Structure 1
Protein backbone atom coordinates (compact mmCIF):
# COMPACT_ATOMS: atom_id res chain seq x y z
CA UNK A 1 0.00 0.00 0.00
CA UNK A 2 1.18 3.50 -0.79
CA UNK A 3 -0.02 6.93 0.24
CA UNK A 4 -1.30 9.03 -2.66
CA UNK A 5 -1.90 12.76 -3.14
CA UNK A 6 -3.41 14.92 -5.87
CA UNK A 7 -2.03 18.28 -6.92
CA UNK A 8 -4.45 21.17 -6.29
CA UNK A 9 -2.94 23.09 -9.20
CA UNK A 10 -3.81 21.76 -12.65
CA UNK A 11 -1.22 21.17 -15.35
CA UNK A 12 -1.43 23.37 -18.48
CA UNK A 13 -3.69 20.73 -20.10
CA UNK A 14 -6.08 20.81 -17.12
CA UNK A 15 -4.98 17.54 -15.48
CA UNK A 16 -4.58 17.29 -11.72
CA UNK A 17 -1.72 14.83 -11.23
CA UNK A 18 -1.83 11.99 -8.72
CA UNK A 19 1.45 11.23 -6.92
CA UNK A 20 2.83 8.68 -4.48
CA UNK A 21 4.17 10.04 -1.20
CA UNK A 22 7.83 9.59 -2.22
CA UNK A 23 7.60 11.09 -5.72
CA UNK A 24 10.21 13.70 -6.60
CA UNK A 25 7.42 15.73 -8.24
CA UNK A 26 5.06 15.66 -5.26
CA UNK A 27 3.77 19.25 -5.04
CA UNK A 28 3.75 21.38 -1.91
CA UNK A 29 0.05 22.21 -2.26
CA UNK A 30 -1.76 18.91 -2.44
CA UNK A 31 -4.73 16.93 -1.17
CA UNK A 32 -4.27 13.61 0.61
CA UNK A 33 -6.25 10.88 -1.16
CA UNK A 34 -5.51 7.91 1.08
CA UNK A 35 -3.66 4.61 1.06
CA UNK A 36 -4.11 2.49 -2.07
CA UNK A 37 -2.57 -0.67 -3.48
CA UNK A 38 -2.47 0.80 -7.00
CA UNK A 39 -2.58 4.11 -8.83
CA UNK A 40 -5.87 3.32 -10.60
CA UNK A 41 -7.76 3.40 -7.30
CA UNK A 42 -5.98 6.61 -6.31
CA UNK A 43 -6.88 8.31 -9.60
CA UNK A 44 -10.48 7.17 -9.18
CA UNK A 45 -10.53 8.81 -5.74
CA UNK A 46 -8.95 12.01 -7.13
CA UNK A 47 -11.66 12.23 -9.79
CA UNK A 48 -14.24 12.69 -7.03
CA UNK A 49 -12.69 16.14 -6.50
CA UNK A 50 -11.04 16.86 -9.85
CA UNK A 51 -12.78 15.10 -12.74
CA UNK A 52 -9.73 15.64 -14.94
CA UNK A 53 -7.13 13.70 -12.93
CA UNK A 54 -4.21 11.69 -14.25
CA UNK A 55 -1.34 9.63 -12.84
CA UNK A 56 2.12 11.16 -12.62
CA UNK A 57 4.37 10.02 -15.49
CA UNK A 58 7.13 9.18 -12.97
CA UNK A 59 5.53 7.61 -9.88
CA UNK A 60 2.17 6.46 -11.30
CA UNK A 61 3.20 5.61 -14.82
CA UNK A 62 0.58 2.85 -15.24
CA UNK A 63 -2.11 5.52 -14.78
CA UNK A 64 -0.51 8.28 -16.84
CA UNK A 65 -2.26 9.11 -20.09
CA UNK A 66 -1.18 11.60 -22.69
Structure 2
Protein backbone atom coordinates (compact mmCIF):
# COMPACT_ATOMS: atom_id res chain seq x y z
CA UNK A 1 0.00 0.00 0.00
CA UNK A 2 1.27 3.42 -0.97
CA UNK A 3 0.14 6.99 -0.25
CA UNK A 4 -1.08 8.89 -3.33
CA UNK A 5 -1.72 12.57 -4.05
CA UNK A 6 -3.27 14.52 -6.90
CA UNK A 7 -1.86 17.74 -8.26
CA UNK A 8 -4.46 20.48 -7.79
CA UNK A 9 -3.00 22.42 -10.72
CA UNK A 10 -3.70 20.84 -14.11
CA UNK A 11 -0.94 20.19 -16.64
CA UNK A 12 -0.85 22.36 -19.77
CA UNK A 13 -2.81 19.56 -21.48
CA UNK A 14 -5.55 19.75 -18.82
CA UNK A 15 -5.06 16.62 -16.73
CA UNK A 16 -4.41 16.48 -12.99
CA UNK A 17 -1.47 14.18 -12.30
CA UNK A 18 -1.53 11.53 -9.59
CA UNK A 19 1.72 10.98 -7.68
CA UNK A 20 2.96 8.35 -5.25
CA UNK A 21 4.45 9.69 -2.02
CA UNK A 22 8.16 10.32 -2.40
CA UNK A 23 8.03 11.21 -6.09
CA UNK A 24 10.67 13.75 -7.04
CA UNK A 25 8.01 15.60 -9.06
CA UNK A 26 5.37 15.73 -6.32
CA UNK A 27 3.63 19.12 -6.22
CA UNK A 28 4.17 21.49 -3.32
CA UNK A 29 2.06 20.89 -0.20
CA UNK A 30 -0.30 23.76 -1.03
CA UNK A 31 -0.87 22.40 -4.56
CA UNK A 32 -1.78 18.79 -3.81
CA UNK A 33 -4.62 16.77 -2.35
CA UNK A 34 -4.12 13.57 -0.40
CA UNK A 35 -6.07 10.76 -2.06
CA UNK A 36 -5.34 7.97 0.42
CA UNK A 37 -3.50 4.65 0.59
CA UNK A 38 -3.93 2.32 -2.37
CA UNK A 39 -2.50 -0.96 -3.59
CA UNK A 40 -2.16 0.41 -7.13
CA UNK A 41 -2.07 3.66 -9.05
CA UNK A 42 -5.26 2.57 -10.84
CA UNK A 43 -7.17 2.73 -7.55
CA UNK A 44 -5.64 6.14 -6.83
CA UNK A 45 -6.75 7.41 -10.25
CA UNK A 46 -10.30 6.30 -9.51
CA UNK A 47 -10.19 8.31 -6.27
CA UNK A 48 -8.84 11.35 -8.14
CA UNK A 49 -11.71 11.06 -10.64
CA UNK A 50 -14.12 11.81 -7.79
CA UNK A 51 -12.64 15.34 -7.76
CA UNK A 52 -11.41 15.83 -11.35
CA UNK A 53 -12.72 14.61 -14.70
CA UNK A 54 -9.31 14.54 -16.35
CA UNK A 55 -6.57 12.64 -14.47
CA UNK A 56 -3.38 10.83 -15.39
CA UNK A 57 -0.62 9.00 -13.56
CA UNK A 58 2.79 10.61 -13.21
CA UNK A 59 5.26 9.31 -15.82
CA UNK A 60 7.92 8.84 -13.13
CA UNK A 61 6.14 7.43 -10.07
CA UNK A 62 2.87 6.03 -11.49
CA UNK A 63 3.98 5.02 -14.96
CA UNK A 64 1.60 2.06 -15.14
CA UNK A 65 -1.22 4.63 -15.07
CA UNK A 66 0.42 7.22 -17.32
CA UNK A 67 -1.50 7.63 -20.59
CA UNK A 68 -0.13 10.81 -22.20
Pairwise TM-score range, normalised by the shorter structure: over 0.9
TM-score, normalised by the number of residues in structure 1? 0.98
In structure 2, the partner of 1:25 is 25
Structure 1 residue 41: Cα displacement: 0.2
SS at match of 1:34: strand
What is the aligned length?
Answer: 66
Structure 1 residue 52: Cα displacement: 0.1
Over the aligned positions, Cα root-mean-square deviation in angstroms equals 0.4
Poorly superposed stretches of 4+, deviation over 6 Å: none
- Please list every run of 5 or more consecutive structure 1 residues that lacks an aligned counterpart in the other structure: none
